[in-house]
Amino acid sequence: MRSRPFLFAALLLAITLLGCALGTSGAPEPTAITASLPPPAETVLLDLCTLLTGDEVAQALGEAVELQARLQTGACSFAATSGAQPKSVAVSAAQGAQARDLVQMAASLGLLFGGSPEAQAMAQDLQANADSMPLQEVVSKANSLLAPLGYIYTPVESAAGATSWGWNPMGAGSLQQVLGETYLSVSVVGMDEAGARSLADGLLTIAAARLPAAFTIELEDSLRIEFTAAPPTAVPEPSATPESPTAGTLWVADRNAGRVARIDAATGSVLADIPVGPFPNSIAVGDDAVWVGNEGDGSVSRIDPSTNQVVATIPIGKKGFLRLAAGEGRVWVAACLDKLVAVIDPMANSVVDTVDVDSCWNVALGGGAVWVPTGERTVTRIDPESLTAIPAVFVQSGPSEISSGFGSMWTANVNAMNLSRFDPQTRQVTATLATGLEKASHSLLGLAAGEGRVWVASNAGILGFDPESNQLAVTFYSVQEPWNLATAGGLLWVTTNGPEGILGLDPETGEVIRKVLWGVSPLTIAAGP
What is the residue-wise DSSP string for 211-245? S-SEEEEEETTSEEEEEEEE-GGGSPPP-SSPPPP
The pTM of this model reads 0.57
CA distance 300 to 283: 9
How far, CA to CA in Å, does 9 sit from each of 22, 368, 396?
A: 20, 68, 66
What is residue 392's three-state secondary structure? strand
Contacts of residue 426, Cβ cutoff 8 Å, sequence gap at least 6: none
Average pLDDT, rounded, for the chain: 65
The per-residue b/e assignment along 59-95, b for 16 or more CB within 10 angstroms, e otherwise, is ebbebbbbbbbbbbbebbbbbbbbbbbbbbbbbbbbb
The pLDDT score that the predictor gives to residue 417 is 87
pLDDT tens per residue across span 421-436? 999 999 999 999 987 7
Task: Identify the pLDDT of residue 477.
Answer: 84
Contact status, residue 317 vs residue 309, Cβ threshold 8 Å:
no
C-beta neighbour count of 352 within 10 angstroms: 11
Min mean pLDDT across 35-44, 442-451, 515-524 is at 35-44
User: Could you tell me if 22 and 211 are in contact, meaning their C-beta atoms sit under 8 angstroms apart?
Assistant: yes
Q: Report d(CA 430, CA 265) in Å as an integer.
A: 33
Per-residue pLDDT tens over the stretch 176-234? 222 222 222 333 333 334 443 333 333 333 222 223 334 344 433 343 444 443 333 33
Contacts of 87 (CB under 8 A, 6+ apart): 79, 80, 81, 156, 158, 270, 273
pLDDT at residue number 415: 86
Query: How many other CB atoms are found less than 10 A from the CB of residue 322?
Result: 28
In three-state secondary structure terms, 93 is helix
CA angle 331, 401, 510 (to 5 degrees): 110
Residues β-bridged to residue 449: 454
Amino acid letter for position 56: E
Most confident of 176-185, 234-243, 512-521: 512-521
Q: In what order do the strands lie in the sheet with 364-366?
A: 364-366, 369-373, 378-382, 389-394
- Compute the average pLDDT of residues 29-51: 31
Q: At what angle do helices 117-129 and 135-145 cross, to 10 degrees?
A: 150
pLDDT tens-digit map of 299-347? 999 999 999 999 999 999 888 889 999 998 999 999 988 899 999 999 9
Q: Which domains does the chain have, with CATH numbers?
A: 5-91+153-234 (no CATH), 94-145 (no CATH), 250-447 (2.130.10.10)
Q: What is the model's pLDDT at position 319? A: 81
Helix (H, G, I), strand (E, B) or coil at 411: strand
Q: Which of 529, 522, 526, 527 is nearest to 259 (CA)?
A: 522
- The whole-number pLDDT of residue 375 equals 78
